[in-house]
Amino acid sequence: MPLRQALVRRATVRRVPVMGDVQHFAGPPDWLWYILAYFFLAGLSGGSYVLATLLRFRAGPGDEAMARIGYYVAFPPMLLAPLLLALDLGKPLLFWHMVWNTTPGGQGFNFKHWSPMSVGSWALIVFGAITTVSFAAALVRDGKLRLPLVRVLDNRAFNVVGSLFGLFVAGYTGVLLSVSNQPVWSDTWALGGLFLASGLAGSAALMSFLARFRPQAGPSAGLLKVSERLYALLELALIVVFAVTLVAAGTLGQVFGPPWALLWVVVAAGLIPGLYGLATERLSGIWPGLQPGLQPGLQPGLQPGLQLGVPPGLPTCTTCLSGGHRLPFRPSSSAC
């Protein structure tokens, strides 16, 4: 009788499944280093293009020169990123099947709006074409290439569309991970924003560094430095959100415990300089050496609106100013 009762009790008592057991049913992704490199390059390309467009719209001294640096930076990663994805497939030559339907009787473009992989593939193709045009237009504007057509195409409306695709490419991979069935990735909604903030911070840092080799972009270097610090602060805030969401899911130890703790040490080492600069210098990097209460471009005693170094009564050239020419200068058709 006791044995019978024990068997009945064992049959009636059911184990309550943990939510993680239900959700995390997929196997490991088995990714190689190609995907890790793709994450980095996609964020760098998208972030650089967005920052370049913002600078072009701002149109301050040095902004156009710095914008061209951003368009230069955005192009090479878009040459490598699709190649890395194709290599990760195991059969790179079959990559074109993701964009072209080879089914007999149904040949045509293979775009599936419900498939994250299909949408991402087409976004890469479109953004790659956009970065190519902007790269060529930057070469034309710098006098290194004679192709007037790309300069006509690369207008502000074109740059806005390109920036939208850049934002998508930079943050899309994080969103794709969040909707997977993998532990940790599917336990948080912050990965898309975290990837985007990281891409913008890295892009601002790289563009600031490259400005050393382009003196015309010097006036915008301070602005990019402040931008990098603000994006680093945003990245830190999203890391905190990421950790909080993992606490609620019970998977925090899988990310911040060994051996991944070393990775977070590297992340902290990358964030600390920007955060320290933001805490000590605040926003002073935008106008280095500017006296309190003094408007940019003015000397003490000058009237508002009078450009520094330009004698009264002489016309000013916004092209020269935006190109970062040193002042004073003598406006003329040849100089502009």
301 Cβ contact partners less than 8 Å away, ≥ 6 residues apart: none
pLDDT in tens, 225-277: 999 999 999 999 999 999 998 888 888 888 888 888 888 898 999 899 889 98
Query: Within 13 A of 160's CA, how many CA atoms are on the CB side?
Result: 4
Residues constituting the chain:
336
Q: Which domain covers residue 217, as residue numbers?
A: 29-286
Distance, CA of 19 to CA of 25 (rounded, Å): 11
pLDDT in tens, 186-212: 788 889 999 999 999 999 999 999 999
DSSP track, 127-180: HHHHHHHHHHHHHHHTTS---HHHHHHSSHHHHHHHHHHHHHHHHHHHHHHHTS
Does residue 127 fall inside a structural domain?
yes
CATH number, domain containing residue 75: 1.20.1630.10
Does residue 218 fall inside a structural domain?
yes
pLDDT above 70 coverage of the chain, percent: 73
> Structurally, how many domains does the chain consist of?
1
Q: Could you tell me which of 175, 194, 267 has the C-alpha nearest to residue 235?
A: 194
Does residue 163 fall inside a structural domain?
yes
* Section 144-164 average pLDDT: 94
Q: What is the pLDDT of residue 136?
A: 96
Is the bond into 304 cis (omega within 30 degrees of 0)?
A: no
Mean pLDDT of the chain: 78
Does residue 321 fall inside a structural domain?
no
Does residue 295 fall inside a structural domain?
no
Does residue 53 carry a pLDDT above 50?
Answer: yes
pLDDT in tens, 75-102: 999 999 888 888 877 776 677 777 777 7
Report which of residues 328 and 251 the model is more confident about: 251
Does residue 24 fall inside a structural domain?
no
Distance, CA of 111 to CA of 106 (rounded, Å): 12
Does residue 128 fall inside a structural domain?
yes
Does residue 11 fall inside a structural domain?
no
